[in-house]
Amino acid sequence: MGHIQITPSILNSDFARLGEEVARIPGADWVHVDVMDNHFVPNLTFGPTMVEALARVSPIPLDAHLMIEDADRNAPAYVEAGCGSVTFHVEAAKAPVRLAREIRAAGARASMALKPATPIEPYEDLLPELDMLLIMTVEPGFGGQKFLDLCLPKIRRARAMLDKHGIETWLQVDGGVSLETIERCAEAGADVFVAGSAVYSAEDPDKMVAALRDKAAAVQA
Ligand SMILES: O=C(CO)[C@H](O)[C@H](O)COP(=O)(O)O
Ligand SMILES: [Fe+2]
């Protein structure tokens, strides 16, 4: 398992002041940017131009989570926009292996996401192509939803697969991650934790980042 990383999602932050919102989380490892197209999910956020503007001012690398149709065609723009990591949804990709290789070749970490009802087993042979696997713990589309415990067995199975193959692919969880749920995710084998509302509804978001990190690290220790 890799070292614990906390990646706050700006989805529930103030979109009119994104640069300042990122400056409130200096202790974060990544900034998670949720790109939604109103087709793959019933919500609309921002596109590559906004992401590029944020990448220019953010001292922390961007972790793009693309909830968009036609990932094969649309994902490379987010590498060009300056994201250090680009996650596409397997449900939206026609050729995930080709896309992961393209993202890596363009200079970003390649990552693939699974919705709660998408099984991991068909993708076991694909794991070495990925720098990170994202297992969603809510149905994608909105921040502030309740953590789905039914996703925990899949996190466990993914961790077992990665360990069996000796692959260093990071295992990220996203959705409803908070001080109440992060230990369950860490116990199941996740090492990269997205937290949106938990961080941005806290009085001191950076303190919350540290508290989440401590909880997850205590499980790993
Ligand atoms: O991908 C997402 C939603 O589709 C968000 O990253 C996620 O929901 C983060 O917000 P919260 O921690 O409030 O659940
Ligand atoms: Fe996300």
The H or E element containing residue 210 is helix 205-220
Q: In degrees rounded to 5, what are phi and psi of residue 122?
A: -65, -15
- Say if domain 5-220 classifies as CATH 3.30.830.10: no
**CA nearest neighbour of 41 among 143, 194, 172:** 143
Q: Which of 9, 38, 132, 192 to mutate to test the pocket of ligand 1 (most atoms within 8 A of CB)?
A: 9
CB of 89 sitting under 6 A from ligand 1: no
Query: Cα-atom radius of gyration of the chain, to the nearest Å?
Result: 16
174 Cα–ligand 1 center, Å: 6
Domain-wise residue ranges, the chain: 5-220
The CA distances from residue 29 to 62, 191, 195, 213, in Å, are: 9, 12, 12, 10
The amino acid occupying position 67 is M
197 Cα–ligand 1 center, Å: 8
Q: Tell me, what's the pLDDT at 220?
A: 81
Q: Tell me, what's the pLDDT at 88?
A: 98
145 Cα–ligand 1 center, Å: 7
Alpha-helix residue ranges (DSSP H) falling in 81-179? 96-105, 152-165
The secondary structure of residue 68, as a DSSP letter, is -
- 47 among annotated binding-site residues: no
CB of 116 sitting under 6 A from ligand 1: no
Q: Tell me, what's the pLDDT at 139?
A: 98
CB of 213 sitting under 6 A from ligand 1: no
- 143 among annotated binding-site residues: yes
CB of 9 sitting under 6 A from ligand 1: yes
Spans in the chain with pLDDT lower than 70: none
Q: Tell me, what's the pLDDT at 171?
A: 98
ipTM above 0.95, yes or no: yes
CB of 113 sitting under 6 A from ligand 1: no
pLDDT tens, position by position, 106-146: 999 999 999 999 999 999 999 999 999 999 999 999 999 99
pLDDT tens, position by position, 24-36: 999 999 999 999 9
- The number of the ligand 1 atom at minimal distance from the alpha carbon of 65 is 1
